[in-house]
Structure 1
Amino acid sequence: MELDGRVAVVTGGTRGVGAGIARAFLAAGADVVVCARRPPDVPVASAGRTARFVPVDLRDADAVGDFFAGTGRRYGRLDVLVNNAGGTPYRLLGEGGAQRHARVLELNLLAPLTASLAAYELLRAARGCVVMVGSVSGTRPSPGTAAYGAAKAGLESLARSMAVEWAPEVRVNTLVLGMVRTELSHLHYGDETGVAAVGRTVPLGRLAEPDEIGDAAVFLASARAAYVSGASLLVHGGGERPAFLDAATANEEISDGS
């Protein structure tokens, strides 16, 4: 398999997108370590293999350093770091105060930086790679999740700078994700009817599945992407249909057949 003998860490790899990424790496032959504050409800497994879980608060720099030191001692190497952990509640800028928004920035931007720095020497020794998990929220207005969007924009910029500073030993790329169907989709889109309706706004007609995100991450970590660094790979089903196209009246006569 593509990643036989490789070791991968997936932060926030216990559920949702992170679990999908972890399963894809397991299926590709890698030894996978997932970390989060809480253990998964069920072990993350694929192809008869199971990811190892280690509890870590990624906002605690000392704990993160200890985690990567322990990973190095246990496996003797680290080939891939997937900075997936993140997220945000819906909160308008005027609600909650600056400190609450700062915590969103801490989790979605500073924590990936902390993890990457802690993992650097292991990755450099293995000539490995970092995969940042970004979002289309970092490339467009994100009302209700403005701090999250700002963090994801910063994460993409960070990855490009890292790719230059850490070359040629460590490659760094970003997956820029659109909407993904997870166990928490109902919190954002409502019931199955709502999820389906939201999916229809995507050119490909549906939300992504976590394992599809995993396949893209495995590609960026594999030898097939050996010359890909500093790149942003859009995994968003074609993006969003521009609203003005549905609002415009210029082509009504043509569409009416008159």
Structure 2
Amino acid sequence: MELDGRVVVVTGGTRGVGAGIARSFLEAGAEVVLCARRPPEEPVSAAGRKAVYREVDLRNGAAVREFTDAVAADFGRLDCLVNNAGGTPYRLLAAGEAERHARVLELNLLAPMTASLAAFPYLRAARGSVLMVGSVSGTRPSPGTAAYGAAKAGLENLARSMAVEWAPEVRVNTLVLGMVRTELAHLHYGDETGIAAVGATVPLGRLAEPAEVGAAAVFLASDRAGYVSGASLLVHGGGERPAFLDAATVNKES
């Protein structure tokens, strides 16, 4: 299989997008290690194989380094780090203290940098790669999630700088995600009618599936992307239909 013998760490890979990425790597033949503060409700598995789970708080630098060293020692190598862990509650800027917003920045920007630095010696030895999981929130205004959007914008820039500094031994790329249909989609978009209505705003007419994000991640980690570094791959179904197109009064069929 495509990634036989490779060892991949997926942060926050116990559910949602992270679990979808982990399953895609398992299907491609890789050994997958998940890390998060809480274990998955059920093992993350695919193709008759299971990912390994280890508990770690990604905001604790010493714990992250200990975890990474242990993975490299147990598996003998580390080929890819997927910085997937992140997220934020909906909170308008003026509704929270700066310290609360700083925690969002810590999880979504500083934690990936910490994990990447811990993994760097092993990735360099394997001539491996880092994959950041970014968001369209980092490329447009994000009211209600402003700190998250700022962190994702910084993450994409960090990846480009890392790609230059760590070349040619380590490739670094970013997946820029739009809306994804996970098991928690109803918390963000409502029932099936709400999810369908939100999906209709995407040019491709639906939300992404976690497996589709995983397929893109496997590509960027594989030898097929051997000359791809410092890139941002948009996995957003065409983005968002510009509002002015619906507001215009000209004949839309002309």
Separation (CA, whole Å) in 1 of partners of 2:124 and 2:76: 13
Q: Which residue of 1 aligns with 2:222?
A: 222
Pairing 1:91–2:91 present = yes
Separation (CA, whole Å) in 2 of partners of 1:95 and 1:65: 35
CA deviation profile, 1:114-157 (whole Å, cap 9, x unmatched): 00000000000000000000000000000000000000000000
- 1:205: how far off? 0.7
- 1:249: how far off? 1.1
Q: Which residue of 1 aligns with 2:47?
A: 47
Q: Which residue of 2 aligns with 1:4?
A: 4
The alignment partner of 2:23 has SS state of: helix
Aligned residues: 254
Pairing 1:121–2:139 present = no
Q: Which residue of 2 aligns with 1:62?
A: 62
Uncovered stretches (5+) of structure 1, i.e. residues with no partner: none
Separation (CA, whole Å) in 2 of partners of 1:23 and 1:250: 47
Separation (CA, whole Å) in 2 of partners of 1:124 and 1:242: 42
- 1:251: how far off? 2.6
Percent of matched pairs sharing the same residue: 80
Separation (CA, whole Å) in 2 of partners of 1:181 and 1:128: 29
Pairing 1:30–2:30 present = yes
Q: Which residue of 2 aligns with 1:15?
A: 15
Separation (CA, whole Å) in 2 of partners of 1:142 and 1:111: 21
- After superposition, the CA RMSD in angstroms is 0.8
Pairing 1:196–2:199 present = no
Separation (CA, whole Å) in 1 of partners of 2:202 and 2:17: 18
Q: Which residue of 2 aligns with 1:138?
A: 138
Separation (CA, whole Å) in 2 of partners of 1:51 and 1:25: 9
Equivalent residue letter for 1:239: G
The alignment partner of 2:164 has SS state of: helix
The TM-score normalised by the length of structure 1 is 0.97
Equivalent residue letter for 1:249: T
The alignment partner of 1:26 has SS state of: helix
Separation (CA, whole Å) in 2 of partners of 1:101 and 1:184: 22
Separation (CA, whole Å) in 1 of partners of 2:224 and 2:81: 17
- 1:250: how far off? 2.7
- 1:106: how far off? 0.3
- 1:184: how far off? 1.1
Separation (CA, whole Å) in 2 of partners of 1:234 and 1:96: 31
Separation (CA, whole Å) in 2 of partners of 1:208 and 1:42: 23
The TM-score normalised by the length of structure 2 is 0.99
* Residues 160-171 of structure 1 aligned to structure 2 (within 5 Å): 160-171=160-171
Pairing 1:186–2:186 present = yes
Equivalent residue letter for 1:221: A
Separation (CA, whole Å) in 2 of partners of 1:35 and 1:196: 32
CA deviation profile, 1:32-81 (whole Å, cap 9, x unmatched): 00000000000000000000000010000000000001001101100000
Which 4+ runs in 1 deviate beyond 3 A? none
- 1:236: how far off? 0.2
Uncovered stretches (5+) of structure 2, i.e. residues with no partner: none
CA deviation profile, 1:204-252 (whole Å, cap 9, x unmatched): 1100001110000000000000000000000000100000000111336
Q: Which residue of 2 aligns with 1:234?
A: 234
Separation (CA, whole Å) in 2 of partners of 1:82 and 1:188: 24
